[in-house]
Amino acid sequence: MTITTCVFDAYGTLFDVAGAARSMAEQPGREEFEKHWQKVASDWRLKQLEYSWLRTVSNTHCDFWDVTKDGLDWALEASGFTNDPVLREDLLALYWELPPYPDGLRTLALLKAQGFKTAILSNGSKDMLDGAVTGAGLESLLDATLSVDDVAVFKPSRKVYDMVGDHFGCTSNEVLFVSSNGWDAAYAAHYGFITVWVNRMGLPMDRLPGTPTHVLSDLTTIPDLAKA
């Protein structure tokens, strides 16, 4: 089956989730935070993901922004920054302006030029995704931005992956799904998508029901894979 539709996860795949903490660490007067920003960024992301999974299995769905705030609160406490409400608010504001990965911009532009349909499929709320897409200037490079808001459950629920076929009217084996999250790529493969795990950090393969079709270190060769 020929690939017709290329779908990307957002956070960590197209947008650098460490960007908010990194930017804060570079600001004057934040020398203490500069010493800890990498741990805060890592803990923040880990708790954001863990809370989304727990919300899914416990049937206690909430807006992804709430999960994001809860994850940051845990991360700040773990690094001793509980008494700095300004830091918290500034980090949350920066999360709405996460920098895009340069290889993502180039890849989306090439895919559109080659005639593929392109989309984001994300746990992010509609408002968060709209802000990220607009801030990165991706509007013209995407045919759709699909948020779990419409199904009220987070990945890796099959209801989320169903959204692609429902929106585009395509079968699962027409979809090339791209994620930097190994668990996301694995479950998308188990669902039936052709998948790419963008393993930017050189991590081991997750032991899960599905196995990503391809493993890459960045997004640059995605257009070649889609054509092939």
Residue 213 token pair: 């079709």
* Strands of the 117-122 sheet, one edge to the other: 144-147, 117-122, 5-8, 175-179, 194-198, 214-216
Please state, in angstroms and rounded to a whole number, the distance separating the CA atoms of residues 71 and 42: 10
Q: Could you give the residue ranges of the DSSP H alpha helices within 15-157?
A: 19-25, 31-57, 64-78, 85-95, 102-113, 126-136
Q: Are 90 and 26 in contact (CB under 8 A)?
A: no
Q: Taking the CB of residue 4, how many other CB atoms lie within 10 A of it?
A: 16
Look up residue 59 and give its amino acid.
N
Rounded CA separation 196/177 (Å): 6
Rounded CA separation 144/180 (Å): 19
Compute the distance between CA of residue 147 and CA of residue 127 in angstroms, rounded to an integer.
9
Residues in the chain, how many?
A: 228
- Residue 127 bears catalytic tag: no
Supply the DSSP symbol for 114.
Answer: T
The residue from 9, 16, 43, 184 that is catalytic is: 9
Q: Which residues are catalytic?
A: 9
